[in-house]
Structure 1
Amino acid sequence: MRPARALIDLDALRHNYCLARELDGGKALAVVKADAYGHGAVACARALEGEADGFAVACIEEALELRRAGIEAPILLLEGFFEADELALIQAHGLWTAVASWWQLEAIERAALERPLQCWLKLDSGMHRLGFDPRDYAAAFARLSAVPQVDKVVLMTHFARADELDSPRSAEQGAVFAQAAAGLPAESSLCNSPALLGWPQLCSDWVRPGLMLYGATPFDRTQPQAQRLRPVMAAESKIISVRELGAGEPVGYGGRFVTARPTRVGVVAFGYADGYPQQAPDGTPVSIDGRPGRLIGRVSMDMLTVDLTDHPEAGLGSRVQLWGDEVDVAALATHCGTSAYELLCHLKRVPRVYKG
Structure 2
Amino acid sequence: MDNSPRQNPLPVAETAWREINLSAIASNYRAVRAAVGQGTKIFACLKQDAYGCGAGKVASVLSAAGADAFGVVSAADALAVREAAPGKPILMYPGIGPDAVDLVRDLDLTISISGEEDLAGWLATGAPLKVFVKVDLGFWRAGVSPANLRRLLDLCASQRSIAVAGLYAHLSEFGDAGSSAPEQVARLSPLLEELKAAGRLPKTIMVSSSESLLHHPEFDMGAVDPGALLFGLVRSCAGRRTLSICAALSAIKARIVALKTSDDSMGAPPDLPGYRPDMRLAVLGIGWGHGVPRHLDASASVLVRGRRASIVPPIHLEHLRIDVTDIPEAMLGDEAVLLGSSGGDRITLPELARVWKTDETGVACGPRESLRRIDVAREFKPNQQEGE
* TM-score, normalised via structure 2 length: 0.77
The alpha-carbon distance between structure 1 residues 157 and 292, as it changes in their structure 2 partners (threshold 3 A), is farther
The 5 Å alignment of 1:112-131 reads 112-113=126-127, 117-131=129-143
The alpha-carbon distance between structure 1 residues 314 and 250, as it changes in their structure 2 partners (threshold 3 A), is same
2:190 counterpart letter in structure 1: Q
Q: Does 1:267 align with 2:283?
A: yes
CA distance in 1, matches of 2:340, 2:225: 23
Give the SS at the match of 1:183.
Answer: helix
- Which of 197, 203, 208 is matched with 1:191 structurally? 208
1:332 counterpart letter in structure 2: L
Range 271-280 or range 133-142, more displaced: 133-142
- Give the structure 2 partner of residue 39 of structure 1: 53
The alpha-carbon distance between structure 1 residues 140 and 351, as it changes in their structure 2 partners (threshold 3 A), is same
Indicate conservation of the 8 Å contact 1:96/1:120, yes or no.
yes
**Cα offset, 1:237, TM superposition:** 1.3
- Give the structure 2 partner of residue 53 of structure 1: 68
Q: Does 1:99 align with 2:113?
A: yes
Q: Does 1:346 align with 2:366?
A: yes
The 5 Å alignment of 1:152-171 reads 152-161=164-173, 164=175, 169-171=180-182
- Give the structure 1 partner of residue 42 of structure 2: 28
Q: Which string of whole-angstrom CA distances, capped at 9 and with x for unpartnered residues, describes residues 51-103 of structure 1?
A: 221111113443134335563311110016412x5345423422111111112
Indicate conservation of the 8 Å contact 1:285/1:332, yes or no.
no
Give the SS at the match of 2:312.
Answer: coil
CA distance in 2, matches of 1:194, 1:285: 31
2:334 counterpart letter in structure 1: S
2:375 counterpart letter in structure 1: Y
The alpha-carbon distance between structure 1 residues 329 and 137, as it changes in their structure 2 partners (threshold 3 A), is same
* TM-score, normalised via structure 1 length: 0.83
- Give the structure 2 partner of residue 62 of structure 1: 77
The alpha-carbon distance between structure 1 residues 108 and 277, as it changes in their structure 2 partners (threshold 3 A), is closer
- Give the structure 1 partner of residue 299 of structure 2: 283
- Give the structure 2 partner of residue 355 of structure 1: 376
Q: Which string of whole-angstrom CA distances, capped at 9 and with x for unpartnered residues, describes residues 104-155 of structure 1?
A: 3334556544xx5432111111111111111111232233245333444311
**Cα offset, 1:44, TM superposition:** 1.6
Q: Which string of whole-angstrom CA distances, capped at 9 and with x for unpartnered residues, describes residues 5-63 of structure 1?
A: 12222111211222222333322112222222222211221222212211111134431
Give the SS at the match of 1:287.
Answer: strand
Percent of aligned pairs with the same amino acid: 25
CA distance in 2, matches of 1:213, 1:321: 24
The alpha-carbon distance between structure 1 residues 86 and 273, as it changes in their structure 2 partners (threshold 3 A), is closer
- Give the structure 2 partner of residue 78 of structure 1: 93
- Give the structure 1 partner of residue 318 of structure 2: 302
CA distance in 2, matches of 1:269, 1:80: 35
The alpha-carbon distance between structure 1 residues 237 and 81, as it changes in their structure 2 partners (threshold 3 A), is closer
The alpha-carbon distance between structure 1 residues 195 and 330, as it changes in their structure 2 partners (threshold 3 A), is farther
1:154 counterpart letter in structure 2: G
Give the SS at the match of 1:121.
Answer: strand
